[in-house]
Amino acid sequence: MAMANTFELGGDLTVDRLGYGTMRLAAAPEPGFEAGMGHIWRAPADRESAKAVLRKAVELGVNLIDTADSYALGENEELVAEALHPYADQVVIATKVGVLRPSPVEWVPLGHPAYLRQQTELSLRRLKVDRIDLLQLHRLDPAYPLEDQIGALKQLVEEGKARHIGLSEVSVEQLRAAQQITPIASVQNMYNLAERGHEDVVDYAAAQGIAFIPFFPVAGGAVTGPGSPVAEVATEIGATPAQTALAWLLHRSPTILPIPGTTSLEHLAENVAARSVRLSDAQFARLSELATATA
Ligand SMILES: NC(=O)c1ccc[n+]([C@@H]2O[C@H](COP(=O)([O-])OP(=O)(O)OC[C@H]3O[C@@H](n4cnc5c(N)ncnc54)[C@H](OP(=O)(O)O)[C@@H]3O)[C@@H](O)[C@H]2O)c1
């Protein structure tokens, strides 16, 4: 069966299955903090280059753009608006609320319903929209009942401030429980060739028609480096290792929507071209085994 290149997010927003994650545009190391942590603390110094990457992504047909209120303390959302507002009709903006950033190395869930609503108001202003296409709860906070956290997002949908609700880093059980409260359009969990802890969530999302948005999709090169099994298969099919890792995700489930992040126009073009990289079922199976063996 031919693989679809698009997906109906929430049943009514057509998105290209290959999206773009903006987090790495804020990944410069923060002076005074341990290097290599990916602080995601400030807007990029070279703002024009970052905006060029965002605009190029849309030009190449990417229309699912993922950000969060916590990336660079909101400056990442401002950058998205500066680059892309007024948004083309087909562009779908996904953001997240529910995580505090008291310092460059702390990510602290906070699910107080009033905080979730306040942060959404701020995201609306920074993104310059009246309604957020996909509002994701960045993390569930065990300190608050699920009903209260999902209830706050549901209220925002009822008020017309969010179109669809998504979750992040949740189990099937948590997803099911949230669905009892309101429809859930997406789940964003860490998942790639080497990180396969959420296989059950991938399958559940597929069965429910829920988007599964795998973060860390190219795994920062961990499974795609020179000499890796992925690199071997890539050579066979005439693709790059990153493209092969993305093609594997696209093949894995029809509701998977990878959002690779990059600061480089070259990597962006390479990642977007993964849309047309096809694996046979045998190559997919072989790649799955190879990567599991080395994970
Ligand atoms: N929900 C959550 O909790 C959560 C957590 C993390 C991330 N996210 C979202 O998921 C998105 C993607 O995750 P991620 O940024 O962690 O992981 P990723 O997209 O797998 O990896 C990004 C890293 O890979 C490099 N890269 C990208 N394309 C490449 C290519 N073709 N060849 C070689 N290297 C390449 C980038 O460096 P260059 O800049 O040099 O290309 C960057 O360092 C984020 O932008 C964010 O929107 C969500």
pLDDT for residue 294 = 53
Low-confidence ranges of the chain (pLDDT < 70): 1-2, 36-37, 220-223, 290-295
Give distance in angstroms: CA of 215 to centre of ligand 1.
7
pLDDT for residue 290 = 67
pLDDT for residue 226 = 74
**C-beta 265 within 6 A of ligand 1:** no
**C-beta 197 within 6 A of ligand 1:** no
CA 19/CA 16 separation, integer angstroms: 7
In angstroms, what CA-CA distances link 104 with 28, 30, 35, 40, 155?
Answer: 11, 7, 11, 7, 31
**C-beta 77 within 6 A of ligand 1:** no
Structure tokens that stand for 138 in this block: 């960045």
Pocket test for ligand 1, best of 40, 64, 218 (most atoms within 8 A of CB): 218
**C-beta 262 within 6 A of ligand 1:** yes
**C-beta 66 within 6 A of ligand 1:** yes
pLDDT for residue 38 = 79
CA 121/CA 116 separation, integer angstroms: 9
Atom of ligand 1 lying closest to residue 66 CA? 47
Give distance in angstroms: CA of 288 to centre of ligand 1.
21
CA-nearest of 19, 20, 17, 13 to 2 is 17
pLDDT for residue 220 = 61
pLDDT in tens, 94-147: 999 999 999 999 999 999 999 999 999 999 999 999 999 999 999 999 999 999
Atom of ligand 1 lying closest to residue 22 CA? 45
**C-beta 109 within 6 A of ligand 1:** no
pLDDT for residue 229 = 76
pLDDT for residue 292 = 60
**How many CA atoms lie less than 13 Å away from 43 in the CB half-sphere?**
17
Atom of ligand 1 lying closest to residue 263 CA? 39
Atom of ligand 1 lying closest to residue 271 CA? 31
**C-beta 291 within 6 A of ligand 1:** no
CA-nearest of 6, 44, 37 to 22 is 44
| C-beta of residue 149 within 8 angstroms of C-beta of residue 140 | yes
Contacts of residue 167, Cβ cutoff 8 Å, sequence gap at least 6: 136, 137, 140, 174, 175, 178, 184, 186, 187, 188
Segment holding 163, helix H or strand E: strand 162-168
Distance of CA 59 to the CA centre of its chain: 19
pLDDT in tens, 219-250: 766 667 777 778 889 999 999 999 999 999 99
Give distance in angstroms: CA of 170 to centre of ligand 1.
20
What are the residue numbers of the active site? Answer: 71
